[in-house]
Amino acid sequence: CVRRVPVLCTSAAMLPKEYRIPMPFTVDEYRVGQLYMISKHSNQNTNNQEGIEVITNEPIDDPEHGRGQFTEKRIHAGGSLPSWIRALIPRIFYVTEKAWNYYPYTITSYSCSFLPRLSIRIVTRYENNAGDNDDALKPDRKDGAAAEVDLIDIAKDPVPEKHKHDCADLTKFQSKKTGRGPLNPDDWMKTTKPIMCSYKQVEASFEVWGLQTKVEKYMHKVVRDVLLVGHIQAFAWIDEWHGMTMEDLREYERKQIEEMSKRIGKSGEGEGEGEAAAADAEGSLAAAAAADAAGGSDEDNE
């Protein structure tokens, strides 16, 4: 199946940002770790009101990037919204995720069924360095202009209060399998080996006059929180996934998908799901940004 990488037509006012997330892995290890993290997190957060429905999952070819995997999913997020907005929107509310995976290059887009003018697009490149390549995303920048860079530090950045119970303190954590960690918050990016970086160009768009800037800034806040939490978990769970082969991982994912499908009453597609999920480190986690933006912050809306 030939499906070219999508070209996004954006408004001039769209708010782009480049996130860099260094990790104590190699690029090959990261691929396994992110798949495990996404699968485990999705299972933990799926119930009869929320969950992931796989619509399309197929191999693709691109003239520039080669062979890859395309997936389209519906993330049913109604149960995670504040009660007041759940009373106003249809129960069929969902976020659509489309992902083009040519690892170590990926594109993921999110749109919201309830707010069609709200969208998020994430372009990611993975490299074996500490986040010091200013040209990693140069081919993907609109008009070649550099976006604001935000370095996410999994050892030092404060975790949002509502996620603290989900996150280990990586300045105290040490992997029993690999011996990696604890991470010194002052210099771990300079002294840790191996090290790689996830470079993400995130474009958040909400084309509604009077609300665009405020909502887009909030969307970036949510995306950043999701990226921080997800990457902390990927390292904290390293002893659970390190050493797994892709075959091991696919079997793990197959079981997770079966459990999720039973809870939301859908029949998921297990074959190839691992390659599809690799489309972005935060994978379906980033859909929370669209859901949160639709309902506002927990503090404002409950």
Q: Which residue has the higher pLDDT, 94 or 60?
A: 60
Q: CA angle at residue 134 from 231 to 181, to 5 degrees?
A: 30
- What's the pLDDT tens digit per position in 225-257? 989 999 999 999 999 999 999 899 989 988 887
**Is residue 203 scored above 80 in pLDDT?**
yes
Closest CA to 100 of 127, 74, 65, 76: 65
**In angstroms, what CA-CA distances link 233 with 52, 60, 88, 194, 263?**
20, 30, 34, 18, 24
When pLDDT is averaged across residues 136-163 and rounded to a whole number, the result is 87
The total of other beta-carbon atoms located within 10 Å of residue 246's CB is 12
The whole-number pLDDT of residue 88 equals: 47
Q: CA angle at residue 101 from 79 to 259, to 5 degrees?
A: 40
Residue 3: band (very low, low, confident or very high) from pLDDT cuts 50, 70, 90 = low
Query: H or E stretch including 213?
Result: helix 212-236
**Is residue 296 scored above 50 in pLDDT?**
no
The whole-number pLDDT of residue 292 equals: 53
Lowest mean pLDDT among 26-35, 88-97, 186-195: 88-97
pTM flag (> 0.75):
yes
Any idea which residue has 């690999």 for tokens?
Answer: 178
The whole-number pLDDT of residue 280 equals: 40
Any idea which residue has 């993400």 for tokens?
Answer: 200
CA distance 102 to 91: 34
- What's the pLDDT tens digit per position in 163-187? 898 899 999 999 999 999 999 999 9
CA distance 198 to 149: 13
Q: What is the dihedral of CA 286, 290, 291, 294, to 10 degrees?
A: 160
Query: H or E stretch including 241?
Result: helix 238-241
In the chain, beta strands by DSSP E: 15-23, 51-62, 66-76, 95-102, 105-112, 118-127, 148-151, 196-206
CA distance 93 to 108: 20
Helix, strand, or coil (residue 198): strand
CA distance 22 to 29: 13
Q: Which tokens go with 251?
A: 């079997």
**In angstroms, what CA-CA distances link 216 with 13, 20, 204, 283, 298?**
10, 19, 6, 20, 17
The total of other beta-carbon atoms located within 10 Å of residue 132's CB is 12
CA distance 52 to 42: 8
